[in-house]
Amino acid sequence: MFKLISNLLSLNVALGNKLRSNTAFDEGLAFNDAGEFKKAFPLMLEAAELGHEKAMCLLGTMYLMGQGIAVNGNEALSWLEQSRALGYEEAISVLGMAYATGKAGIKIDLEKGRELLAHAAAQGDKQSARMLDMIDRGEGMFRGLKKKRR
C-alpha cells in the first residue's frame, strides 16, 4: 500500500511539473515572440529545468544569441545537446549552425557542423540546407573556405 501511494505521489509530481513546464514555455514564448527577451528568459529557464525539450532548444538559442542573457557558448551547447538528446529535431539545426559559425565563442568544428546541418536538411530544414550551400560555395562568412579546403 505504501508503494502504491508513493508511486501515485511521484506521478502527481511528474504531471504537475509537466503542466508547469508547458505553462512556463507558453508564457516565455509569448515574451520571446514579442522581443521581450529579459522577460522570456526566466520562464524558458524554468521550463527547460523541468524537462521541456523545446524550451531547452530556445534557451540554448537565447544563450547563443545573447537574448535576455549574456552570450554563453558553453550554456548554449549544454541546453541544445539536452534538447537534442530528448529528440527535438530543431536543436540539431541550431547546433550545426553554432559549430559551423563559431557563434558565442564556440570552437568552430566545420565537420561536425556540416554533419548536423546535413541531418537537419535531410529532415526538410531549409535554413540548414541554405547554410550547407553557403559553406559549399564559400559564400558569406565562409568566403575563402572553399579555397582552403582544396
Encode pLDDT of 87-97 as tens digits. 999 999 999 99
* Predicted model pTM: 0.84
Q: All domains of the chain, ordered by start, with CATH?
A: 2-88 (1.25.40.10)
Condensed to tens digits (0 to 9), the pLDDT of residues 59-83 reads 999 999 999 999 999 999 999 999 9
Distance CA 52, CA 86 (A): 9
In the 3-class helix/strand/coil scheme, how is 82-117 assigned residue by residue? HHHHCCCCHHHHHHHHHHHHCHHHCCCCHHHHHHHH
